[in-house]
Amino acid sequence: MTPRPHTAVIGLGAMGLPMATHLAAHLPVTAYDISAPRLAQLTEAGGTTAPTPADAARHADLVLLAVRDQQQVDNALFGEHGAAETLRPGTTVILTSTVGPDAARTTAARLAEHGVLTVDAPVSGGPVRAGSGDLLIVVGAEDKALALARPVLDLLASTLTVVGPRPGDGQSLKAINQLLAGVHIAAAAEAIALARGLGLDPATVVESLRHGAAGSFMFADRGPRMVETYENETAPEVKSRLDIFVKDMGIVTGIAKDAHVPVPLASAAQQLYLLGERAGLAAHDDSSVVTLLSPKSAASPAQKGEGR
């Protein structure tokens, strides 16, 4: 493979588009997505586009999947006009989506029937870091597949951890990452809801605590967006949809059950995200989950002169 492998990117969502635009500055990139505006953004960044996943993958050395869930993985690869129709033997598919260990292994087995290698490489870090090649990527792959995928992975990752030799190994570590991330967002929501209930200014609380021992990346990142939810009439920009954590916490609790490991905090966080989905917040930023605990219109006992 050349040092600048022709790379197909399937899925130009919150993570896929910045990854694709970053890659397009260094490699030939062809992408597929259902969104015409996102395809146009990639074209402006120097990439080319294709009308189907099969067309995007036709001449690719590497195919990077950046879709939401396993159903979209199956559609992109094996559905009508899926990439598997045109993938050449020896091509490597890089699975960056969070789908769970079993799903990654099943996908790898199906691709192997076509002579295609799989690199299980779920990513973490958010859209801004995706656009600057500053992602955390955890990998499960055999040595040959990993070596072929390195030109792309090294451009996208500031931290690359090889977990094990099998597809699914990366997904296992990503599930632990999502356990922590999901619990931390839920904890941040509880903290800000309590601050409002006590009549404190949430912005002051966030700014004070984000730098101390109680802080976390998620508190520092989502806290200001939770404050924005209360300060503005319009909802914050969607950087990470709430239903992503419905999916991911479902993966966490599912594999924990299979491993007979209790995860009470993850289970509680999962229920909070499910409540958010039921309340119509699925497509909102995940920081909006705070409004379940402290509705925008709610007045605190302190504000009412009560409880003192």
- CA-to-CA distance for 189 and 65, rounded, in angstroms? 31
Q: What is residue 10's DSSP assignment?
A: E
Question: 3-class SS at 164?
Answer: strand
What's the CA gap between 125 and 15, in Å, rounded? 9
**Identity of the residue numbered 7:** T
Residue tagged active-site, from 144, 174, 247, 296: 174
How many residues are there in the chain? Answer: 308
Query: Cα separation of 1 and 68, whole Å?
Result: 29
Active site residue 144: no
Amino acid identity at 239: K
Query: Which tokens sit at 181?
Result: 């991330």
Spatial contact of 134 and 154, defined as CB atoms under 8 Å apart = no
Tokens of 130: 């995706």
Catalytic residues: 174
